[in-house]
Structure 1
Amino acid sequence: MKWHELGELQCPIARSLSILGDRWTLLIIRNAFMSTKRFDDFQRELGITRHLLTERIQRLVEHNIFEKVLYNEAPKRYEYKLTEKGLALYPIILAFSSWGNLWQNENQEFPEVKYKHKNCGHFTRPEMTCDCCHEKIDPKQMQLIPFPENEK
């Protein structure tokens, strides 16, 4: 199967990976959540080549994850801002960060990335919970119901 064909599969994970499934794209999105907006800033912060960055940002704009906003008329310069669809990726960034803090830092050679909830002022470790009973999600207690069986 070719990479671009993932977007045509019934699986929502495969369709998502067709857009987000490379390391640079997720790092670009991570930096956007850290208030990076301009091409040169993304390039400087990530150390990515101009060609790769251009390609990845164009894909994010094409899929309505970034909005391209003109901030300087002459010469034309643009900022890239997360759309509502892009902001909806925040739980994925949190999940990657939490997993990396726990499983990719066994020797504790790196400081743990922490998240502070602005509303209450406390540090938090985001967790997934059931939207019905509010219990913490346990993979052993979950069942995937594939389409079209989920319509029954």
Structure 2
Amino acid sequence: MTDEPRMSAQEMIDRLAPALSVRTRIRAVAALLAGLAGTVFVVSLWWSEPGPLPGRTQLAFALFTVFSVAWAGYGGWLLTRRVPLFATEQVIAAWIALIASVVTTGLVAVIAGQNGTGLLPALAIGSLFVAAALVLALRAHTRRAALLRRMRKLTGEEEA
């Protein structure tokens, strides 16, 4: 017998897995930079427009600003994590993408319907984006659930 202290399964998992992989850090930096760049671009374009803009144009600028800030916030949040995330970051990114695609599709469909410029193409293209985001969200939730099941099994919280 050795006098070394015994490590729990959770401590072993924490020591074996780095908090964030290089790939995850690169994705986080990309989301942060893209979000910040998008925010600066949209806000400066919005502020530089002459005269009062129509309400729906103001709404579009506001929504694109919110989406950009959400991606910047996501990237910043991800970079500050020092614990295993168990695919939480993928779930959050998928939900941001799903919400953005649904709202954008709705806005484009309303504008196309009001202008009479082709509601069907707007809905068809928007639906493709919504479907892709939905698939990513379902995949992220499934992956997270599998990782959490594996963690519970390794830590003894779940009977084998």
- Please, what TM-score do these two structures have when normalized by structure 2? 0.27
Task: Write 1 or 2 for the structure with the bigger share of strand.
Answer: 1
Task: Write 1 or 2 for the structure with the bigger share of helix.
Answer: 2
Q: Which has the higher contact order (CA 8 A, sep 6+)?
A: 2
- Please, what TM-score do these two structures have when normalized by structure 1? 0.28
Look at both structures and tell me which one has the larger radius of gyration over its CA atoms.
2
